[in-house]
Amino acid sequence: MIKLINMISKENNFAFIDSQNLNLGIRAQGWELDFARFRVYLKDKHYISKAFLFIGYVKGNVDAELVLHAMIHINDFDQALIVTGDGDFHCLVEYLLEQKKLLALMVPNRKKYSGLLKRKYFLPYTRFVADIRNKVQKKRKTPMRTKPHQGTLSVRDNSSISPPKIMSIALSTSKQ
């Protein structure tokens, strides 16, 4: 009998996370992700040493940023975990698979994700965030009972402040 063993490097795996797709996919299912718990899960379960979170506040090409950074760092990691359900990443996932660099494709919403990522050769690598909901869901806090605050409410006008268009954050637990 031959036993197949999933060869996961226990030291140097990176995660590339499409934050908007992740957040929208999770919220569509009626829950909220605790990013700190998610990061611990990625480190403990998938040996992720560095996670890149790609955030787009204004319409921009976050998809291209994610693909670009995955290619820039391809020689820096053993395997990559891609978090998205967006078909725009099909070519990246396929390339990582061909190069034996794909650790997993983690899909935020199993009911709503691209058919391009449902191809049979991706299925052994596909994971669903809902399957780890109990480990990564934001815990609801019970509100404290206090007296109503008496005073004035100040509303700040932020119309002149423009948010960053694209933000790439490297969350790393390793010291460099």
DSSP 49: E
Q: Which has more confidence, 11 or 157? A: 11
User: What is the sign, positive or negative, of the torsion defined by CA atoms of 106, 111, 112, 116?
Assistant: positive
Sorted by where each starts, the structural domains of the chain and their CATH numbers stand as 13-138 (3.40.50.1010)
- pLDDT single digits (tens) 87-101: 889 999 999 999 999
**Model pTM score:** 0.74
- pLDDT single digits (tens) 100-121: 999 999 999 888 887 788 788 8
* Residue 58 phi, psi dihedral angles, 5° rounding: -120, 150
